[in-house]
Structure 1
């Protein structure tokens, strides 16, 4: 029974969880340009990635086409496009790179939201106020930062 509750707690922690992860001081965040890829090419690759994942349902802790959560989608995208390993939780992703103002966002920047008292959400900025993410209600999709809901929940942006 104790194992059941441990598994349940892990499953319910979602994008806002903070299980122990490897020391992130050794991960070297990078921008698309330092990987010899232009911001425009990075956006093109993100859109291609989106086509492969569009509509995949949200699943807490998921990292497959059977279901994926917001931080899992970010980890998969950066791994596939830039071969860059990232931490698995939104909490750890929010510490990487450097802060970027909303006005200076570029394709590939992380956009982070406070969606509840202790819950966080993460997506990847595209351009023109659009971002790629795994929505709990609609699965993998593209939303707009200027949408009233996302405007109210916006927390910060990070450039890796």
Structure 2
């Protein structure tokens, strides 16, 4: 899975240096083309968030985990990525994170938005980072590692609770996290 993340990172880097290819629509290029297009449209901070998340692909799951050295749980993964890439210190816990930012309808999702699911028979018990094209990256339950999945799969569609967009100004106004420049 780390190889997959390295390939995505290389594709994104090349796409950023090559510029816009007018010959083919992103949809015709499959996930890589769509993800590259999404990366080009995302702001530089969100590009860093996405690249940081992808670089951690394959990191083992650990309940309560907060670092690549020890492993991650879902909120530890999101917290670590946003701290490293966007200098935001989020709370640990999917439910606590779900209180931050702005609620986003599913049809307005953008790369870097947070997606929340009911995986423990409790609302907002799981969180991941939306990548684009219906996919998100997350730290799944025990036995897995940080992975990319399709949120349109029946399992995730049935459990979807909502999405949030973290914006430094909005988050700072909410006073729930430390957001330093």
Same fold judged by TM-score > 0.5?
yes
- 1:48 aligned partner: 51
| 1:126 aligned to which of 121, 131, 135 | 131
Please tell me whether the aligned partners of residues 102 and 157 of structure 1 are also in contact (alpha carbons under 8 angstroms).
Answer: yes
Q: 1:47-126 residue pairs with structure 2 within 5 A?
A: 47-65=50-68, 66-118=70-122, 120-126=125-131
Give runs of ≥4 in structure 1 deviating > 3 Å: 40-44
Cα distance change of structure 1 residues 159 and 51 upon mapping to structure 2, 3 Å threshold: closer
2:80 alignment partner, SS class:
helix
TM-score norm. by structure 1 comes to 0.70
Structure 1: segments with no counterpart, 5+ residues? 1-37
With over 3 angstroms needed to count, the CA separation of the structure-2 counterparts of 1:43 and 1:98, relative to structure 1, is: closer
Deviations 1:52-78 (A, max 9, x none): 311111101011222110000111111
Whether the 8 Å CA contact 2:49–2:86 is kept in 1: the answer is no
> Secondary structure of 2:127's match?
strand
Equivalent residues, number: 124
Q: Deviations over 1:23-63 (max 9, x none)?
A: xxxxxxxxxxxxxxx62544542442234311111101011
Q: Which has the higher contact order (CA 8 A, sep 6+)?
A: 1
Task: Determine the C-alpha separation between the residues in 2 that align with 1:148 and 1:42.
Answer: 31
- Partner of residue 19, structure 2: none
CA distance in 2: counterparts of 1:100 and 1:47, whole angstroms: 18
Query: Tell me, what secondary structure is at the counterpart of 1:135?
Result: coil
The residue number in structure 1 matching 2:16 is: none
Contact kept? 1:40, 1:107, Cα under 8 Å? no
Residue 147 (structure 1) aligns with: 153
The secondary structure found in structure 2 opposite 1:139 is coil
Match among 148, 157, 165 for residue 159 of structure 1:
165
The structure with more helix, counted as a fraction of residues: 2
RMSD: 2.0
Match of 1:135 in 2: 140
